[in-house]
Structure 1
Amino acid sequence: MRMMMFAAAAALSAGPALAELVKVDDQSRFVQLVNGKTLTRPFVRLNVTPDGKIAGRGARWDVEGTWSWQNGYFCRDLFWGGDPLGYNCQEVEATGDGRIKFTSDRGAGDSAMFRLR
């Protein structure tokens, strides 16, 4: 019993978990996270390059676009299968275990979680 209480106390007092989302506030940190990696989720594979380009596939269609960093947000102009998805600035959060989350409308809209591979 004493061992279980010790384990529970240790777990509660440990530092932040690897899976905890942490906001990415600057472009250099964002580039460090995505450079040379593929962002994946079911049926989606994207590359976001340091020179401001986005390319990949979503379902069966090509995805392409551009991005910039503005006032702490990832701002992208995206096309999916040739159709414009439009311009949107998104909040970015990352975990220590290789995941990155984008939330549209500066963090107030829908979000998508990707694995960095």
Structure 2
Amino acid sequence: MAIVRFKGYGEIEVPVGTSILEAAQELHAPEGYACGGVCACSTCHIYVTKGSNLLSDQEEEEEDMLDKAFDVRSNSRLGCQSKIERDGEIEVEITRESLEAYENEHPQERGKYVTWR
């Protein structure tokens, strides 16, 4: 099992094989997923601040999609493509882009989540 902490939104314990996006959905953390989590957009863009070595490697398709994201950093990943491969602790920051996408996908949630940036 792995513990995934979403900065400002809580943490959840999930089994190996779970994606960061799936963990966010189970926790009800506001990570966007306009394409349904199939690597066809960048709305699940996150920053992995701890435990990136516990995740699957970034593949070319994810790198290409991240080229379309805003404020990409060295620790940027797509939540739908970041599969947990080993037990441990992972810390994630949901990007402003992802939070805004989530609120667009869930209008009833608008204003519920505070952006700390």
- TM tier relative to shorter chain: under 0.3
Higher share of residues assigned strand = 1
Higher share of residues assigned helix = 2
Instruction: Name the larger-Rg structure.
Output: 1
- Using the size of structure 2 for normalisation, the TM-score is 0.26
Per chain length, whose mean CA-contact separation is higher, i.e. which structure has more relative contact order (CA < 8 Å, sep 6+)? 2
